[in-house]
Chains A and B, each alone.
Chain A
Amino acid sequence: MARARILATVVGLLALVTACAPPGAPGSGAGGQASGPIKAGILAPLTGVSAASGQDMVNGWNLYWKLNGATVAGRPVQTLVEDDAGEPNTALTKARQFVEQQQVDFIVGPLLANVGLAVADYLKTVGTPGFYPIVSADDLTQRGRVENVVRIAGWTSSQIHHPLGEWAYEQGYRRVLTICTDYAFGHEVCGGFVRTFTAKGGQVVNQLWNPLNTPDFSSYLAQVRGSGADVVFSSQVGADSVRFVKQWAEFGLKDSMPLLGGEVLLDQSLLRSMGPEAEGLISAGHWAEGRPARETQDFADAYLREYNQLPSYYAAAMYSAALWLARAIERAGGNTADRKALLDAVRRTEVSTPLGNMKLDDYGNPIQNVYVRRVERRADGRLVNVPIHTYEGVSQFWTFGADKFLKQPVYSREFQGTPEQLRALGLEP
């Protein structure tokens, strides 16, 4: 009988519970306040292989508020930092904590493309604004846009390298060999270069794809001399960049073959661990710490004083994002609870940042300067990227226009935007 009684009790209680009002009433996942502190959730990898760059991100963000005071439109700005470990699932967990537990007004970060894409899809479901100064996966502001995720002070992988392809052609180079990392970021960076270089009439003699974490580039570098190329384009990331540049010099290629780099082959974060082998190398970037403009130098000096190193693009972009948000929140009268108004204000704000002048296009990606940079040694012995040519007002669609550009698929190992590949898809080169 005891059994029946317990059973009846359980069933009765269940019925009682489910008879109540459905859950999910207001309060769950709301976030965004009209008064009190503005809560910014910063997602960055603070452990794992990207930890150093993640720390740069946090440093850049913090420096802005330290120099300019952490108050916007009369409201204090509260920064919450979480470690996403460079891993999409961890990042999703942290994003949920930010939005549903901490009720942040917006999320700024993360670093890696796959992490950014995963978090963007989550943000889409809850509506919390996401600001992505670092994540450069093309489709995030192209074919797979999320309305409430915009790339303030950010970039697309191919955006920066479209101008470099034309620049290379104008320098008289005609046959390129590319050596890029074999994953989406490498495909997109390389595609940006190849698309415009071949559109001008340049040829691709070969494309080599090395896996992430290549300890030894000799099998790739051995193919350079006999390839018939008159220029090599390479995009590497992290420790791969340091190894590539070192081995490039060790192979004696530095004096015999021109090398053009993707932005992160020679970012300041890597120049710190490079030596004479990097001097004189040329790359494209939306960040050039050696740019003489006042905004850039003031920021670089302040960063050097604070952290005893020059700022990488991770730091510069996060600093610029903070500046951008401060202006936009002021414009919105400090009301971050109205997400649509906040996003509108962000979209309408034009800023002069250490990266240069920036404004968002209709797709949520900045129209900005792209610098062709050469690595030079400063008077204090530090290596810096100095602009030798500036393309102003570069759009993520280069000069193709959004409609035409979006007809082509996203750059991949199979599609690098050569005239033949475009024609095969029925598109005009």
Chain B
Amino acid sequence: MRVAAFARSTPLPWQLALLGCGVLVAVALPYLTSSFYVSVATQILFFGLLAMSIDLLGGYTGHMPLGHAGLLGVSAYTMGYLVSRLHWGWLQAAGAALALTVLVSVLFGFLAVRTRGIFFVMITMAEGMLVWGLAYRWASVTGAENGIRGIARPEFATLYWQYYYFALAVFAVCALLLWLLVRSPFGLTLQGIRESESRMRTLGYNVTLHKLLAFTISGLFAGVAGLLYAWYNQYISPSAINIGASTEGILMVVLGGAGTLLGPVLGAAVIVAVKNLLSMYVARWPTVLGLIFIVVVLFAKDGILGIARRGWARWRQNRAVRAPTVGARPVPATDEERAATGG
């Protein structure tokens, strides 16, 4: 999991300690709590992965896609069909599903990356609806609104805690890959495109190609999330991949903090927790969720992570004032400053 949001303000031991705590809690979770909370945590993992994949396009590249649930659906439905109807092994089915998702992502990306702003949103929304429509109408393959049932999990991950560890491992690998990606020259190029497409073009970058690659990679990770999703419920239906699901993915990104990798996971955690835990006590939980969104959008445009980061910076500054010997590095406070420093 990326702690890079703290990177500029946080000395390395702190980052490692945070990462260590995160990993420790994640690994120890099934020992500490009941199966219900473990399955909630499993949901956070794959929704977090979906949100990170959306953020790669939306937060890092500056093109917010409104159809990623469709890409999740391509992989979930393909794997579900192969496993439950054709009785393929999980690995072959997952491979085939991801291959098809990449193919569809290239196709969708090809259509979408020529546009930007609201037009990009509209095209990706249409693409997502296309997949949803297919799932809803192609009854002989997708089971229409009744969905595909009985999607068997990999045989080593059938129990809830086995599946949790499986999802955790997949999530960790994906998060590491994404972390390496956004720090690579390729990732920095994407952030350059976000700041100014024309400048990047002038500098000689093939902007369209970069955007297409970003779209495809993002689709691939959404596909992985789709696999985890379908195995988790052992069921996939059109309502899981409709525009509401795509929108929820974006809300996770915005809530947690766009342009970071930790943020979308935090956003996913909050939304999953409200849906699963708060709904046990509050019947009007969608209202609570709505209020959270309003508060975050009004008072913290950089999301929960932004709040945490600013709180952390203030605390360190106060400490630095009291004990000036602690060598605090300067903290870029605003988006402009961060962009200027290349991050």
Which A residues lie at the B interface, using CB under 8 A? 2-3, 6-7, 9-10, 13-14, 17-18, 20, 22-24, 27-29, 83, 87-90, 92-94, 96-97, 100-101, 113-114, 117-118, 120-122, 125, 137, 144, 183-184, 412-414
Given contacts A10-B20, A93-B279, A101-B34, 9 further A-B contacts (CB under 8 A): A3-B13, A10-B16, A14-B23, A96-B276, A113-B145, A144-B150, A183-B144, A412-B139, A412-B140
In the complex, A117→B240 CA distance in Å? 14
Which B residues lie at the A interface, using CB under 8 A? 12-13, 16-17, 20, 23-24, 27-28, 30-31, 34-36, 38-39, 139-140, 144-147, 149-150, 159-162, 233-235, 237, 239-240, 275-276, 279-280, 283
The answer to whether residues A100 and B233 also contact, given A10-B20, A412-B139 and a CB cut-off of 8 A, is: no
Q: Secondary structure of the A side of the interface?
A: helix
Q: Secondary structure of the B side of the interface?
A: helix
Q: Which residues in A have their C-beta under 8 angstroms from that of B145?
A: 113-114, 183-184
State whether A24 touches B140 (Cβ < 8 A).
no
State whether B39 touches A114 (Cβ < 8 A).
no
State whether B23 touches A24 (Cβ < 8 A).
no
State whether B12 touches A3 (Cβ < 8 A).
yes
In the complex, A13→B147 CA distance in Å? 43
In the complex, A28→B30 CA distance in Å? 10
The answer to whether residues A6 and B24 also contact, given A100-B36, A114-B147, A121-B234 and a CB cut-off of 8 A, is: no
State whether B237 touches A118 (Cβ < 8 A).
yes
Min distance, Cβ B109 to any Cβ of chain A, angstroms: 27
State whether B34 touches A17 (Cβ < 8 A).
no
Min distance, Cβ B20 to any Cβ of chain A, angstroms: 4
In the complex, A100→B37 CA distance in Å? 9
Q: Which residues in B have their C-beta under 8 angstroms from that of A83?
A: 283
Min distance, Cβ A265 to any Cβ of chain B, angstroms: 20
Q: List 5 A-B contacts (CB under 8 A).
A: A14-B27, A29-B35, A90-B275, A96-B36, A96-B39
In-complex Cβ contact of B160 among A29, A90, A114, A414 (8 A): A29
Min distance, Cβ A83 to any Cβ of chain B, angstroms: 7
Min distance, Cβ B167 to any Cβ of chain A, angstroms: 14
Q: Which residues in B have their C-beta under 8 angstroms from that of A14?
A: 23-24, 27
Q: Which residues in B have their C-beta under 8 angstroms from that of A3?
A: 12-13, 16
State whether A121 touches B160 (Cβ < 8 A).
no
The answer to whether residues A88 and B139 also contact, given A17-B31, A24-B161 and a CB cut-off of 8 A, is: no
The answer to whether residues A28 and B160 also contact, given A90-B275, A118-B237 and a CB cut-off of 8 A, is: yes
In the complex, A18→B283 CA distance in Å? 38
Q: Which residues in B have their C-beta under 8 angstroms from that of A88?
A: 147, 235, 237, 239-240
Closest to A144 in B: B149
State whether A89 touches B240 (Cβ < 8 A).
yes
